[in-house]
Amino acid sequence: MNPDIHTLSDSLLWKRFLEGDSSAYTQIYNRTVQDLFRFGLLYTSDKELIKDCIHDVFVKIHMNRAKLAPTDNIAAYLTVALKNTLFNALKKTTDSLSFDEIGEREETVDESPSSPETIYINNEQEKQVQATVHTMMSVLTDRQREIIYYRYIKEMSIDEISKVTDMNNQSVSNSIQRALGRIRDLFKRK
C-alpha cells in the first residue's frame, strides 16, 4: 500500500481508484464504511441488510469504475449510491426504521470505568437527549430530516447537499431554515 494513500484528497483518491489502484479502493472503503453503516441505520434496523447493501455498492463501483465520473466528495457519492440501493432493497421488505428512532439504535462507548450510579445517571441523561432529538425530528418532514442529517451530522456544504438531493442551492437553504424554524417553534411552545 502506498504510504501517502491515507492523506490523499477525495478527488485524488477517487482518481487513483478509477485508474485501477486497489489500495485506493481499500482506502475508500476504510474511510467510508462506518459512516455508510450509520447512514443505513436511518432507514432500517436490519444490520445485515445494510451490510449487504454497502457490499453491493462497493462491488458495483468496482465493476463499473470505467464508467464512473470524477468526484471530490467520495462520502456524498457513496451515500447517494447506498441510499438508492437501500431503497430498492427496502421495497422488498417491511422492516424500515424512521429517522426519529435513530437515537435508539446508536451505540455509545463509555471510555472509563464508572460506578453503577454514574452509569445510571449517564444512561438517564442519554435517554433525555435521545427523547429531545426524537421530539425535534418528529416535527420535520422526511426531506427536512435528510437535509438536516447531511448539513449537521455529515457537515456537508449547501452545494454538496444540493448535488446529493437533486435540489437547487436555494431550495436546500430554504429547507434548512424551515426545519430549524419548526424546531425553534417546538421549543418556544414548551
Q: Tell me, what CATH number does 93's domain have?
A: 1.10.1740.10
The total domain count for the chain is: 1
- Give the CA distances from residue 25 to residues 16, 55, 76, 105, 144, in Å, rounded to whole numbers and listed in that order: 8, 13, 16, 29, 32
In a domain? residue 183 = no
In a domain, 33, yes or no: yes
**DSSP string over 124-162:** HHHHHHHHHHHHHHHTS-HHHHHHHIIIIIS---HHHHH
Domain assignment present for residue 20? The answer is: yes
Q: Does 127 fall in a domain?
A: no
Q: Is residue 132 part of a domain?
A: no
What is the domain extent for residue 41? 1-97
Q: Domain for residue 168, yes or no?
A: no
Structural domain contains residue 120: no
Q: Give the whole-angstrom CA distance, residue 16 versus residue 11.
A: 9
Cα of 75 vs its chain's centroid, Å: 9
More confident residue, 52 or 149: 52
3-state secondary structure of 21: coil
Residue entry with cell 455508510: 36
Contact call for residues 32 and 87 (beta carbons, < 8 A): no
pLDDT (tens digit per residue) in 98-156: 444 444 444 444 444 456 767 767 777 777 777 777 777 778 888 888 888 888 878 88
Task: Confirm whether pTM is higher than 0.85.
Answer: no
